[in-house]
Amino acid sequence: MTKENKVVAIQEIKDLLQDAKVVYVADLEGLNAAKSSDFRRQAFKNNIKVKVVKNTLLQKAMEQIEGVDYSEMFDTFKGNSALMISETANAPAKLIQSFRKKEEKPALKSAFVQETFYLGDNNLDTLVNIKSREEMIGEIIGLLQSPIQRLVSALQNKEEATGKAEEAPVAEVAAPAEEPKTEEAPAAEAAPETPEASAEGEAPAAE
């Protein structure tokens, strides 16, 4: 590799590392072309950038990054090395773990996650269990919402109980009994005329 090519390669690595918060270095040696291609495809789906690099160039690139001292990782840069950059803390670890179910590789060399260095493959399980920023935010939101949800639930239960009480059947008020109607006394019948009255009223018959 010419000096110019090295300069270009180092710059490419620096571009990947610039402002990176999640940096993994893994060993992919032993994966054939098909498996290596599958690994890269899965990495792309999970928004993980993968680049096979030379150890000397990776170290020089890291030495030129300001703000982070990567020197703790340098002793792990041996053999085949692949740089993995992600925005999710545990995504590269989960990807490596999923491939390890059937293969011996990839193997974790070292990682820089959440401003902490992890050296050696024995840290893989620890990295897998690191919660991502999104997961932590989700848990915080869940904790904040929990008291509100309990309050809303209590209010809803209270409203339902109040509604049921209002809907309870009201006892019907008995209609007042009708007052017995007073029967009208029958009109007094005219008294029968006495014989005297009849006699007085009739004209004497002609003899």
pLDDT tens digits along 30-59: 889 999 999 999 999 999 999 999 999 999
Return the pLDDT at 172.
54
How buried is residue 28: exposed, middle or buried, by Cβ count under 10 Å (0-12/13-18/19+)? buried
Per-residue pLDDT at 117 exceeds 70? yes
For 109, residues 6+ apart whose C-beta sits below 8 A from its C-beta are 25, 26, 27, 73, 76, 77, 78, 81, 120, 121
What is the pLDDT averaged over residues 4-20? 93
pTM: predicted TM-score of the whole model, two decimal places:
0.65
Strands, E, within the chain: which ranges? 22-27, 49-53, 81-86, 107-113, 116-119
> 182 or 66, which is more confident?
66
Return the pLDDT at 132.
61
In the chain, where the domains are located: 3-130
Per-residue pLDDT at 161 exceeds 90? no
What is the pLDDT averaged over residues 151-177? 62
pLDDT band at residue 139 using 50, 70 and 90 as cut-offs: low
Domain covering 3-130 in this structure, CATH number: 3.30.70.1730
